[in-house]
Amino acid sequence: MKTSNDFLSTLNDVFVLFGAIEAKRMFGGYGLYHQGVMFGLVSGNELFLKTDDESAQTFIEQGLLPFEYSRDGGRVQLSYYAAPEVIFDDSEEAKEWAERAYEAALRSSSATRGK
């Protein structure tokens, strides 16, 4: 499914309390960046937020599913989980979830640089 420009524009409003975000095209969707760090991705009109070992359980407890795609006859799961619907109605919740994803991205980036 193609991502609509309206959906991308909506995300600026959703994350208004979190701060400026930028959407950059990647593969079939968009990466969402804050201060140069990718904290989310958009596939179709669905938002996924970055997780790591420290934050994934919070998403799982909410019943949120991971981002997956097909490759070579199998399924590949990335460390991004669907964003909860509440963020589209509550700016404070959106800020909390975005901060959680951003912090996971920073930890992940730091771990990668350390290798």
- Model confidence, pTM: 0.90
Nearest-angstrom CA–CA distance, 102 and 107: 9
Mean pLDDT of all residues in 14-21? 97
pLDDT, one tens digit per residue, over 66-75 is 999 888 999 9
For residue 69, the model assigns a pLDDT of 87
Nearest-angstrom CA–CA distance, 96 and 112: 24
Which CATH number among 3.30.1460.30, 3.40.50.10170, 3.90.1200.10, 3.30.70.260 corresponds to the domain 5-113? Answer: 3.30.1460.30
